[in-house]
A and B are shown apart, each in its own frame.
Chain A
Amino acid sequence: MAAWIPAIGSRIRRALAGRAGGKRGSPDRAKKMPQNGPTGVAAPLAMVAPALVLIPVLLLLPGLVHGGGIDLLKAFLQAAFTPSLDPLVLGSAISGLGVTVGIALLGWAASGLLGLALALASSRQVWSSCCGQVWPANLLRRLLAVPRSIHELLWGLLLLQLIGLQPAVAIAAIAIPYAALVARVLSDQIDALPSGALAALRCGGVAAPQALLTALGPPLLPGLLSYGGYRLECALRSATLLGVFGLGGLGTELKLCLQSLEFHQLWTGLWLLLAVMLLLETGLAGLRRRWLMPRRLGLGGLTTTPLGPESGAGTRGMGPTPRRDDLGRRGREMVLALVVLGPLLVWLARAMDVHPLALLHWQPLPNLDAASWASILALPWPQLVGSTLLLTLVAAGLAVGLAPLLLLLIAPWPWARPLLQLAWALARLWPPPLSALLLLLLLKPGLVTAALALGFHNLGILGRLLLEASDDRQAPAEIALLGAGVGPRLALLYGRFSGLARSYLAYGAYRADVILRESVVVGLVGAAGLGTQLLESLSSFAWDQLLALLVVYALLTLVGEDLSDRARLQLLAPA
């Protein structure tokens, strides 16, 4: 799913590092990309074009508003400035946050270990170097697509039904899909590494494991750690989300506060969560700089030239070239971090009363019979699939199109950037089902409400990426336009978005794939396709329906993943 990550970071960096500098493209590219004329949409416009979904959404919105919610919404917004500081509230928020962070850390660590093992097991290079065969790698790759295609929330709810409420359930729910994801990203990276060094070692009679470790370990490490950090951020978001659906931690508290309209208490938890999230992000960014790892989402030139000149030397944030003693220091610090992390995780698992063995005690499942098939066929499948796809499209359009549009809007006001940054941070950590519930105060349940909630969350993620990409120094073409008296907005649109468009849209394609998978989390606002039906079938213990829905959902996300991969490849095709 995230094989794109290597490409996009370096693309964005290259775009910013000033591609204008005398690059001469090939005539091939001219053929591939019709640039002008009535049908061709030029790069910068393509970037904001997805925001066109705003038009139907805005047209539909007045009909969806129901009275009465405005006062509640006002109270909610006002409460942001006066969170409850009651020691009791604070105490329970902090302990809830502790559980959420614990779940995130343990789920992340488990997915990392499992993912690393699966990555090695599904890497063609490893198999061909060990046994001369690659088909087991290909087979495992295909199989891993299944756990990956099911969202962690679905895993959580499924395991909850099968096993009962256990701390291990939430951890497993994160670990299973994440491990499959990590396995794909890492195995892609291992296979993209040049095989020369490995072949040379094997030729010299070195045993396969040692040869693999020596030849592939060092070039893989920076990308591995950088990606690991990014997964930790994701795990914290997932753990919060699982809480909203009753799997414990701060999410549960937030949902209860929202449902009982205790906005002041809600914001206590929310600000705490925001603080932890920002702390984590800045901490990881600091580590990345210290250990000279590629930037977030910039796993790097790893697939092409590990930390080579192309992977962004010369751009800000990469730091200086490592000196000899720096490298030693980095290794020592990494070992130290591992030594601290191990016991910490064990202690956490004990403190949270996690029993991995509990995962093996399943409750018996009813068998499928003729009546089950009837109830499965009775579901309105075309409508369910159709509204899921529509929800995905609208949410993706909102998220992908609004991020650049808002950046354009604030371009003349530098002081508005930190505000936007804060808004994106809030959108990122605010679980979509909570925004859906919040929107229900104002809007009727339905697809648009669900799409707004999902779009807002993903807007936070896309917006941050875009802000990061444009945090670097201005693109030369933009400076040139500003120097010729062009206003800041048009200079941004023409001078910077032109270079960013392809990589940004490629990221948008990836995000649309994620949104499709995530559409289940806003199912609770109703009329939102498969997600809504899934949650209903789950709560009425209709196992037959649930199973069928899961299969269809998984198929749909697999097709979506394939389409999004293709779009990405097309967009990132070398110029």
Chain B
Amino acid sequence: MPAAPAREPGQPSPGSGVSPQALPWLELSEITVPGRGRPRLDRVSLAIASGERVALLGPSGAGKSSLLAVANGQLQPSAGSLRWLGAPPARSERARRRQQARIGTLWQDLRLIEELSVQQNLNSARLAAWGWPRALLNLLWPLDTAANRESLAQVDLGAELLGQPVSALSGGQRQRVAIARLLRQDPELLLADEPLASLDPRLAAELLHLLLNQVTPRRALLLSLHRPDLLAGFDRAIGLRQGQVLFDQPARSLAAADLAALYDGELPGSGP
């Protein structure tokens, strides 16, 4: 598979190991999200620098989805603070939308617009930047064909798909179109909530490869995963258990014992 610009996955990235002078692309400190019984997130702190590829591991119910929902602004934490690209969430609606436009999410159910064509779906990633005239024109006329063709090429899809309704695509094509749409959005922070969950092993590996390849020095990726065997291309792994960070370390130095603790053992020091 021809790789997008960037470097090969697995190589150490220039920004990894958050250097003191670099602004973290995503910074959570002491984030708490209440839940039934115990909090869904319990004073979680983490920082992700540009160029980093971070995997979020943990058993079901560990709080991975909540963490990603906080990270993309969908979920308001009850305590703690959040910073995107060095700035706290903006108060004004307009500025907040500008911030959101720099965060791209790959949803597990993809959330493509079934009734629209591939081209219209790809262009929908630009809606935050476009005004009404272009947004309406996009529904009538093929817009920005060159840019769309390029983003399809980056996910190994041909330009002949542009006019197709997304409902006519195969499962693998839909996954790729969703990634191509992210590329059209051109976000600096890429978030993905278990994008590989419902895929067969071959498709999962291909998709992961594509996603890891999108990380450039000015882009960071946080991806939640429940399969530790797919950690190969990541720079860092964060283990989440019962709403708390269990470990946060380079992916290569992750030991079997860490994973055992994450999935089987008890969180050290936590009471019942």
- Say yes or no: B107 contacts A42, CB within 8 Å: no
Q: Does B60 contact A (CB under 8 A)?
A: no
B168 CB contacts on chain A under 8 angstroms: 25-27, 29-30
Find chain A residues with CB under 8 A from B109 CB.
18, 20-22, 476
Partner of B107, one of A26, A476, A494: A476
Residue of chain A at shortest CB distance from B162: A36
- Which of A36, A44, A575 sits near B163, CB closer than 8 Å? A36
In the bound complex, CA of A524 to CA of B113 (Å): 46
Report the stretch among A98-106, A127-135, A444-452, A481-489 that lies at the interface. Answer: A481-489
In the bound complex, do residue B140 and residue A23 qualify as a contact, i.e. CB atoms below 8 Å apart? no
Question: Which of A193-201, A297-305, A414-422, A495-503 is the interface stretch?
Answer: A495-503
Q: Identify the closest chain B residue to A19 (Cβ).
A: B114
List the A side residues contacting B100 at CB < 8 Å: 482-485
Given the known interface contacts A20-B111, A25-B165, the answer about A35 and B124 at a Cβ–Cβ threshold of 8 Å is no
B140 touches A42 (CB 8 A): yes
- B61 close to chain A: CB less than 8 A: no
A479 at the interface (CB under 8 A from B): yes
In chain B, residues 64-121, which have Cβ atoms closer than 8 Å to a Cβ of chain A?
Answer: 72-74, 93, 97-105, 107, 109-117, 119-120
The answer to whether the Cβ of A181 comes within 8 Å of any Cβ in the partner chain is no
The answer, yes or no, to whether B167 is at the interface (CB within 8 Å) is yes
**B43 on the interface (CB 8 Å rule)?**
no
Rounded to whole angstroms, the CA-CA distance of A482 and B97 in the bound complex is 8
Closest to B74 in A: A483
Closest residue to A412 on the B side, CB-wise? B93
* Nearest Cβ on chain B to A202's Cβ, whole angstroms: 42
- Whether A484 lies near B105 (C-beta < 8 A) is yes
**Closest chain A residue to B111, Cβ basis:** A480
A203 to B111, CA, bound (A): 49
Whether B125 contacts A484 by the Cβ 8 Å rule is: yes
User: Roughly how many angstroms separate A20 CA and B110 CA in the complex, as a whole number?
Assistant: 7
B185 at the interface (CB under 8 A from A): yes
Measured in the bound complex, the distance between the Cα atoms of B117 and A42 in whole Å is: 9
Contact B115 A501 (CB under 8 A): yes
Q: Are B115 and A499 in contact (CB under 8 A)?
A: yes
A42 vs B118: C-alpha distance in the bound complex, in angstroms? 12
Q: Does B169 contact A (CB under 8 A)?
A: yes
Chain A residue nearest to B109 (CB atoms) is A21
Say if the beta carbon of B158 comes within 8 Å of chain A: no
- List, in ascending order, chain B residues with CB within 8 A of A364's CB: none
Among A19, A24, A483, contact of B73 (Cβ-Cβ < 8 Å): A483
Interface window among B27-35, B128-136, B149-157, B234-242 = B128-136
Pairwise interchain contact A483-B164, C-beta atoms closer than 8 A: no
A145–B53 Cα distance when bound, in Å, is 67
Rounded to whole Å, the gap between the CB of A480 and the closest CB of chain B is: 4
Chain A CB within 8 A of B198 CB: yes
Residues of A within 8 A of B127 (CB): 481, 484, 486-487, 490-491, 494
Q: CA A412 – CA B102 in complex, angstroms?
A: 21
Q: Which of A29, A36, A477 has a CB less than 8 Å from the CB of B111?
A: A477
> B226 in the interface, Cβ–Cβ < 8 Å?
no
Q: Which residues of B contact A498 (CB under 8 A)?
A: 113-116
At the interface, yes or no: A38 with Cβ under 8 Å from chain B?
yes
Nearest CB of B to A35, in Å: 4
- Binary CB contact string for chain A from 321 to 356 against chain B (1 if under 8 A, 0 otherwise): 000000000000000000000000000000000000
| B115:A486 contact, CB within 8 angstroms | no
Q: Give the complex CA separation of A20 and B163 in angstroms.
A: 19
Q: Are A43 and B167 in contact (CB under 8 A)?
A: no
Most buried by A among B117, B139, B141, B198: B139
The answer to whether A480 and B136 touch across the interface, beta carbons within 8 angstroms, is no
B253 close to chain A: CB less than 8 A: no
A45 CB within 8 Å of chain B: yes
Cα-based distance from A34 to B268 in the complex (angstroms): 59
CA distance A253 to B56 in the complex (A): 70
A366 at the interface (CB under 8 A from B): no
Taking the closest CB of chain B, its distance from the CB of A475, in whole angstroms, is 9
Contacts of A412 in B (CB 8 A): 93
Cα-based distance from A23 to B171 in the complex (angstroms): 9
Q: Does chain B have a CB within 8 A of A33?
A: yes
How many Å lie between the Cα of A26 and that of B169 in the bound state?
A: 8
In the complex, A20 Cα to B198 Cα: how many Å? 15
A41 within 8 A of B: yes
Residues of A contacting B141 in the complex (Cβ-Cβ under 8 angstroms):
37-38
B111 shortest CB reach to chain A, Å? 4
Point out which of A27, A36, A42, A498 has the most chain B C-beta atoms below 10 A from its C-beta.
A36
Decide if B142 touches A37 in the complex (CB within 8 Å).
yes
B174 within 8 A of A: yes
Query: Do B135 and A493 touch across chains, with their CB atoms under 8 A apart?
Result: yes
Q: List 21 A-B contacts (CB under 8 A).
A: A19-B114, A20-B109, A29-B165, A29-B168, A36-B120, A42-B115, A42-B117, A43-B116, A44-B116, A477-B111, A477-B113, A479-B111, A480-B105, A481-B124, A483-B103, A486-B124, A490-B132, A498-B116, A499-B114, A502-B115, A575-B167
Query: Chain B: residues with CB nearer than 8 A to chain A?
Result: 72-74, 93, 97-105, 107, 109-117, 119-120, 124-125, 127-128, 132, 135-136, 139-142, 162-165, 167-171, 174, 185, 187, 198
Point out residues on A near B: beta carbons under 8 Å. Answer: 18-27, 29-30, 33, 35-38, 41-45, 412, 476-477, 479-487, 490-491, 493-495, 498-499, 501-502, 575
Question: Can you add 20 more A-B contacts, CB < 8 Å, to A476-B107, A483-B105?
Answer: A18-B109, A20-B110, A20-B112, A21-B109, A22-B110, A25-B114, A35-B116, A35-B163, A36-B119, A37-B163, A38-B141, A42-B115, A45-B140, A483-B100, A484-B105, A485-B128, A490-B127, A490-B132, A501-B115, A502-B115
